[in-house]
Amino acid sequence: MGLLDRFRRRDRDAAAPLYAAVVAKAREPHWYLEGGAPDTLDGRFDMVAAVLAMVMLRIEAEPPGDMAAAALSTDVTERFVDDMDAQVRQIGFGDIVVGKHVGRMMGMLGGRLGAYRAAMATGDLSEPLIRNLWRGDAPAPAASTYVSTQLQRLHAGLRDVPLSALREGRLA
């Protein structure tokens, strides 16, 4: 029966609390005030991607083959895709180009996840943040240091959060 379970459609809303918590965390004013994150459509997307990347890195820390972790990763990624699809449609893009834009956003998320994963090893996210969040236009050093430090604190705090709590939307 376990093999058949893999082919059953999972509940698309299973990761809704986690994704809502990611978006709420990314919308906290301190990122934009103290951190100088651009309060624009692109800036908000990049903050969601940065916070989601920290959550994904936490999920990746589970032992290889952990099916609950794999399911949570897939579920939260699907929520991201659903959200980006809705956002692109709300902006006014038609059906013909929505998939292309959402696919590009998925690629952007994947690229950011890889960049943040590599930067976490050095303890400084400033370089990928400048490239992604500020789109190459470096902010004041205090701003990039602030966002880097806060994301690392989030990542460190997530280490102690069990997967079951993450799925419920608890980030700390």
pTM (two decimals) = 0.87
Range of lowest pLDDT (48-52, 64-68, 94-98, 116-120) = 94-98
The counts of H helices and E strands in the chain are 9, 0
pLDDT mean over 124-138: 95
At 86, list the tokens: 């809705």
Q: What is the pLDDT of residue 1?
A: 45
Q: CA–CA separation, 159 vs 145, rounded Å?
A: 21
Q: CA–CA separation, 31 vs 24, rounded Å?
A: 12
pLDDT at 8 over 60: no
